[in-house]
Amino acid sequence: MDPIDLRILEELKEDSRKSFSEIAQNVGRTEATVRRRVNHLKESGIIKRFTIAYEATNKPKIKATVEIEPDFKRIKEICAALSKVEEVTDIWRLSGDCGIFLKVEIDSIEKFNPLIENKLSTVPGVQIKETCFITQEIKSKY
């Protein structure tokens, strides 16, 4: 997707019933170009029955924390396995009985349970203690 596609999507989000000629006028392209691009966006699954798939427009990720109680005898292999999970962005090993704390980022809320059930919980020696969605980042170094 390029900036022209994004502008077309913005026009359709505003009113999905706009004509191709009206969209063309608003984005500074010909009607044929808009028609061709809309058809391509439909074929690629970004436009679904004139409902825009928001994940395709760089929607911000949903962030959560996961507290894990590890089997401390397997701590190195647990950390290595968790490091390979794409959605895991940060891993902290905490002192005492606190265990391991993760930060995860997912595209949609629907992907959270599969992440927990199919990826994190399947790591031998991992027991999920608590999960929390991050509702607002007040300060982040990155």
Q: Which long-range contacts (CB under 8 A, 24 or more apart) does 129-136 make?
A: 129/67, 129/68, 129/69, 129/99, 130/66, 130/67, 131/64, 131/65, 131/66, 131/67, 132/64, 132/65, 133/62, 133/63, 133/64, 134/63, 134/64, 134/65, 134/103
Distance CA 117, CA 113 (A): 6
pLDDT at 104 over 60: yes
Indicate where the chain has its CATH 3.30.70.920 domain(s).
62-133
Half-sphere CA count of 127, side-chain side, radius 13 A: 7
Write down the mean pLDDT value for the chain. Answer: 89
pLDDT at residue 67, as a whole number: 96
27-31, 95-99, 109-113, 131-135 — which is least confidently predicted?
Answer: 95-99
Single pTM value for the model:
0.58
For 23-47, what is each residue's pLDDT tens digit? 999 999 999 999 999 999 888 888 8
The fold for domain 3-57 equals Arc Repressor Mutant, subunit A (1.10.10)
For the chain, the straight-line distance linking the first and the last C-alpha, in angstroms and rounded, comes to: 26
Q: What architecture is domain 62-133?
A: 2-Layer Sandwich (3.30)
